[in-house]
Structure 1
Amino acid sequence: MARDVVDGEIVESRDALAAWFEAGCKRDATLRVGTEHEKILFYRAGHAPVPYAGERGVAALLEGMNARLGWERIEDGGHLIGLFDQAAAAAISLEPGGQFELSGAPMETAHETAAELARHVEVWRSVADPLGLSALSLGMSPKWTIAETPVMPKSRYGIMQRYMPKVGTRGLDMMFRTATVQTNFDFRDEKDMVIKLRVALALQPAITALFANSPFTDGRLNGFLSARSEIWRDTDPDRTGTMPFAFEPGMGFERYVDYALDVPLYFLKRGSTYHDVAGASFRDLLNGRLAAAPGERATIADWANHLSTIFPEVRLKRYLEMRGADVGPPARVVAMTALTSGLFYDSGALAAAAALVEGWTAEDRQTLRDEVPRLGFAATIRGRRLRDVAVDMVAIARGGLAARANRNAEGEDERVWLQPLEAIADSGRSAAEAWIDRFNGPWGGSVEPAFEEALFE
């Protein structure tokens, strides 16, 4: 999340929370896709992580980009922690371990996402290169321990850092050592939201396999193709997972409200101050009975900020977020946009995707989710290899993009951006498997060459 919501309107009822979701429906508006990606920074000389402070630190990088872009500054306790483009609704922000994130503007086509990303990389490189900085296109830091990883000066992250070890064993790994690419996409109405949410949840393991790109930890192989995905399985069961209730009768905005109300709070933000209320109940805040904050009432800002601290495989806000992919190079970042648009923004493609996952039970989906970080395309569901599901999914997206027929200046439609995923699905081998081959072969059992070969550029 780029910056916290500041709407101070008091929430009077549970119904108002459901109405907040309802306000996100794009009934007659153009549907758009926003793409977010994180990249892990390092110094080219020595391959060390990049601290926040210092002449060549993350703060200096942000200041340099601010000088180029002129975006609104986002600060926390006097520290520059991000930049916001009010006109485009785009932002640059920091994850806990210094992962550098672009939250892209909502775009109509993958062509626009590609242009936006190219501009971002050009500006970022123009500032990062003189500082001696580069970035990895891997889904997890391949070398540094948590203790070696810098900590960014963001108040909400300090609260999460204290709370995470109480509810799981991998929460700090998630915060400090992983990097993802996600897409945010619209829904027309409540029924459309439910269909898209169910399809996205069911297909998320296939997307995880397509984007699997985190086989290294602490300088060695970690036994997974997507260690980032595995980490989420033991981060915090209250706020992660596959949400089986989403497939039950009666699913809608109110059901998601009930789910979110039962996810413990992390913090309350009042003014510029974050108050640690980790583990407390939003229901108590809604009713004005939060023991950690006597007399405080829930606001729309509290609700929106709370929703940003819930981490299921697919997340509902005033749009849907696909959250299961490891980051990769820019071509795969744009491919994520193309895949999402192809699957969800053509009615025929959405119907075909729903048919692809029809009949899968909650147990089927959970078993697949549990197996895919280690097995990737070799995982199976109802007797089918996940590789075959992924091939079908990408083909459906290709058909959806063809039907959309959004062409660039060269006359190409959005299918051109799907090609990296088509190549992976057709080969049945993820990027992680290629890196493992490099590690066991020409790299000689060292991850150091990753800092030359797995670059975000």
Structure 2
Amino acid sequence: MPASHPEPPLSSPSHVTDTPITQRSQLVEYIASGEKPERDWRIGTEHEKFGFRLDDLRPPTFDGARGIEALLEGLVRFGWTPVQESVDGNPPRTIALTRDGASVTLEPAGQLELSGAPLESIHQTCVEVGTHLNEVRQVSDELQLGFLGMGFQPKWSRADMPWMPKGRYRIMRDYMPKVGSLGLDMMTRTCTVQVNLDYASEADMAKKFRVSLALQPVATALFADSPFTEGRPNGYLSYRSHIWTDTDPDRTGMLDFVFEDGFGYERYVDYLLDVPMYFSYRDGVYVDASGKSFRRFLKGELDVLPGALPTLRDWSDHMTTAFPEVRLKKFLEMRGADGGPWARLCALPAFWVGLLYDDAALDAAWDLVKDFSAAERHALRDGVPKHALKLPARVGNVRAPVRDLAVEALKIPAAGLRRRARLNQDGIDESRFLETLVEIAESGQTAAERKLELFHGEWNGSVDPVFRAFAY
């Protein structure tokens, strides 16, 4: 089955070949090689979640009888294969799992991530997610752990978060404070759900990229679920989304150049070449290249690897270190949503598949956003973290809250999924997975606002009940 996301996420080294890069065209060809005919398009869904100890709600450390490594090793019973890494010459430790095209990996503070296999339908995605959560629940119950889906750690400070023993995270940890004030929070205290989708051609990629960038703030608003920091309301509904605005301006944002005439693979390669490096993975070791130029690397002028040329694996790794709202690799990644409960983990791929995998829906979505100015796109991106569906916006020719834009936008994937007509065993199509988003849009109340009501009401000003009420 052709893969929608063959490379692992940032938390693991790439499995791409070590072929040396001797000319720039190889970088463009690498992205172009992701093109697939429509019959081979797949859906790759990823989600992260916070672990916590049931007795004191603290995040589990990596080590120990109730640690994250113990959880990973407990999951091996379900047919997962361990992936190990050695840091600083220490004995190898289990830091990830693989099975049937899927992987379980760790974010920097031990957030557990499922990177799903490339699947044909959202019905399959929901089965995959449900199976994974059931397996995690069985092992975590034995360890007296729980897992929570939200966009931002609601209770614990940055200092309270553990660090996983992974070489690349040490490099990023040292570099992040040099370029932004919230990068370490991004690493240790955020969780997201994203979906990775295919394209048929350069033109198809460009159209999907533009539509998904313009509508990403709508997804952020619908999925907003990170209103607490260290036990108190933080003034945002998606604080996770706000964090990206002060993480690293060289590798985040809305990518205005995507909307320029002539945008394609070449232009995206230019963008990536201007993103500072983090590392090069050589002989099992992460070489610190933070802040250095990939362009100089192409010339063999990287001072930490004198005379060495990058390989396609270096390029694949480098592509994972750019963090725009939509990311292009050999597929497109939708990156705007807070983590959440099972229903929303299925709803995100439903939203984007319905928009991007049906020609009529893609045309309708483009008609909805094509006359947005760059200023309007940025106003949406910058405003929804705080105001979500209540942010004033332009909907057609009138001013209205983003809620109205979301209601209109949701009609498009609903129709697209019905036309896709991928039915489950009961004859039900994939549009059913949009129901939780339709409910949010029509009510105008996000999950974050619901939690704030509980905090100010029956939770009596405490976030502790969130770990019981909203755990998987």
* TM-score for the superposition, normalised by structure 2: 0.95
Say yes or no: does 1:3 pair with 2:15.
Answer: no
Contact persistence 1:73–1:83 (CA under 8 A): yes
Task: Determine which of 308, 315, 318 is the counterpart of 1:303.
Answer: 315
**Which residue type is aligned with residue 318 of structure 1?**
K
Say yes or no: does 1:84 pair with 2:93.
Answer: no
Show the 5 A alignment for 1:18-37: 18-27=28-37, 29-37=39-47
Contact persistence 2:82–2:94 (CA under 8 A): no
Show the 5 A alignment for 1:62-73: 62-73=72-83
Aligned to 1:239: 251
Measured after TM superposition, the shift of residue 181 of structure 1 is 0.2
Contact persistence 2:150–2:225 (CA under 8 A): yes
Aligned to 1:267: 279
CA distance in 2, matches of 1:364, 1:439: 33
**1:341-396 Cα deviation digits (max 9, x unpaired):** 11111100010000110210111101111111001011133323211111111110
Measured after TM superposition, the shift of residue 108 of structure 1 is 1.0
Contact persistence 1:91–1:103 (CA under 8 A): yes
Show the 5 A alignment for 1:71-220: 71-77=81-87, 78-85=92-99, 88-220=100-232
Aligned to 2:59: 49
Structure 1, unaligned runs of 5 or more: none
Task: Determine which of 403, 414, 417 is the counterpart of 2:433.
Answer: 417
CA distance in 1, matches of 2:194, 2:438: 18
CA distance in 2, matches of 1:222, 1:79: 36
Structure 2, unaligned runs of 5 or more: 1-8
Contact persistence 2:80–2:98 (CA under 8 A): no
* Larger mean Cα displacement after TM superposition, 288-297 or 189-198: 288-297
CA distance in 2, matches of 1:19, 1:66: 37
Measured after TM superposition, the shift of residue 73 of structure 1 is 2.2
Measured after TM superposition, the shift of residue 137 of structure 1 is 1.5
CA distance in 2, matches of 1:427, 1:294: 59
Aligned to 1:336: 348
CA distance in 2, matches of 1:323, 1:70: 26
CA distance in 2, matches of 1:247, 1:76: 43
Change (3 A) 1:415 1:182: same
Contact persistence 1:11–1:298 (CA under 8 A): yes
**1:8-49 Cα deviation digits (max 9, x unpaired):** 101111111000011000035421111000000001111111
Measured after TM superposition, the shift of residue 72 of structure 1 is 4.4
Contact persistence 1:41–1:50 (CA under 8 A): yes
Structure 1 runs, 4 residues or longer, greater than 4 Å off: none
Say yes or no: does 1:395 pair with 2:404.
Answer: no
CA distance in 2, matches of 1:73, 1:79: 8
Q: Secondary structure at the match of 1:102?
A: strand
**Backbone CA RMSD of aligned residues:** 1.0
**Which residue type is aligned with residue 13 of structure 1?**
Q
Task: Determine which of 401, 408, 422 is the counterpart of 1:385.
Answer: 401
Aligned to 2:69: 59
Give identity over the alignment, percent.
48
**Which residue type is aligned with residue 420 of structure 2?**
R
Q: Secondary structure at the match of 2:222?
A: helix
Aligned to 2:443: 427
Task: Determine which of 441, 453, 459 is the counterpart of 1:437.
Answer: 453
Aligned to 2:332: 320
**1:104-145 Cα deviation digits (max 9, x unpaired):** 011111100011111111111111101000011211111111
CA distance in 2, matches of 1:160, 1:338: 33
Corresponding residue pairs, total: 454
CA distance in 1, matches of 2:376, 2:327: 20
Measured after TM superposition, the shift of residue 4 of structure 1 is 1.6
Q: Secondary structure at the match of 1:147?
A: helix
